[in-house]
Amino acid sequence: MTSFWLLTDKKWLSMTDINKLLANFHLNATIFHRSLLCNTWSTDTSGSGLASFHLVSQGQAYLYCDDIKALELNAGDLVVFPHDAPHIISSSDDAETAASINSFIAYPMAHKSANQTGLICGYFDFSEDKSHPLICQLPTCMVLHKHQQQGALAGIVQSLIEEAKLGLLANEVILSRLSEVFFLNLIRKLSLDEQTNIGLFKALQDPKMNKVLHAINTDLAHHWTVNTMAEIGGYSRASFASYFKSYLELTPLEYLTRLRLSQAKKQLRAGDSVYKTALDVGYQTDVSFAKAFKRYFGYGPGSSRKSNTLA
């Protein structure tokens, strides 16, 4: 069954570590479609292996995604698919009709028509952070209606719509950057929403677990064991391991490994040596680091440095 969230305006307590989480997050956005669609149309943009989003700039559309049937979308409504889930966005509220159409007639967004639906579509590439515990815990589909958008997020979404209608210099770059900022704001909203059910955010709200996560995130190079983590939070070893997995769906050491190797990949692509990177993320030798890296990613750390050099 699809994991589906309709975001609400109810808030959790503020997150003490949300700024650090977002500051270390790697994200690239690309707008691949923006137009006015007319007549009967449907589209499914899945299959890229990337997260995607759709923003309705005017008119009306309907969303289909597994157990989501004909969810009405109106101007300003957003849909995000963090895991490239198959889906249909359509002009039809009939599932059979929506599934049978795989085409559309499009006009530039500056075209004047009250009967067309404006659609802005983009990809999010999380790169090294694709396996980050936060990304892994995001639901299959997230819907954020216009009336739920407040403050900075509302302004960014409106700026996206306005910029998409223009054909000015650096337009594509600005759209990409606005999309990235919109996603980060969405994550911030999720961190304050009591219905998100993201275990990482729940863990950060637990004072004892927050201390553990803060310590790990601040010093990946430390010689961490389950016992030392448990001591920081004031847990017994067994209760800590149980609570940790209930929040993050990973063992403490699995979580640590993901963070370390994600950070390592960033450093390698930035040009750091394998040896320096290994020490920075907590491995005693470059040999043990290389084995762990290859076991996790399927290729050696040297490949990350080479691909960055060639790029």
Q: At what angle do helices 207-218 and 237-248 cross, to 10 degrees?
A: 80
- Element at 287 (helix H, strand E): helix 286-297
Place 189 in a pLDDT band, splitting at 50, 70 and 90.
confident
| 4-191: CATH architecture | Sandwich (2.60)
Place 133 in a pLDDT band, splitting at 50, 70 and 90.
confident
The whole-number pLDDT of residue 132 equals 80
The whole-number pLDDT of residue 89 equals 94
CA torsion 129→130→132→133, rounded to 10°?
160
Check whether 246 has a pLDDT greater than 90: yes
Residue among 241, 27, 213 at smallest CA distance from 138:
27
Check whether 59 has a pLDDT greater than 90: yes
The whole-number pLDDT of residue 251 equals 97
275-294 pLDDT tens trace: 999 999 999 999 999 999 99
Domain with CATH 2.60.120.280 in the chain: 4-191
161-182 pLDDT tens trace: 999 988 776 688 999 999 999 9
Domain with CATH 1.10.10.60 in the chain: 206-306
The whole-number pLDDT of residue 22 equals 73
193-226 pLDDT tens trace: 766 678 888 888 888 998 999 899 889 999 999 9
Check whether 3 has a pLDDT greater than 70: no
| 206-306: CATH architecture | Orthogonal Bundle (1.10)
- First-residue to last-residue Cα distance in the chain: 39
Between 71 and 68, the higher pLDDT residue: 71
Check whether 298 has a pLDDT greater than 70: yes
Say if residues 143 and 74 touch (Cβ distance below 8 Å). no
For residues 98 and 100, what is the distance between their CA atoms, to the nearest angstrom? Answer: 6
Say if residues 67 and 53 touch (Cβ distance below 8 Å). no
The one-letter amino acid code at 214 reads: H
In the three-class reduction of DSSP (H, G, I as helix; E, B as strand; rest coil), residue 63 is classed as strand
The whole-number pLDDT of residue 232 equals 97
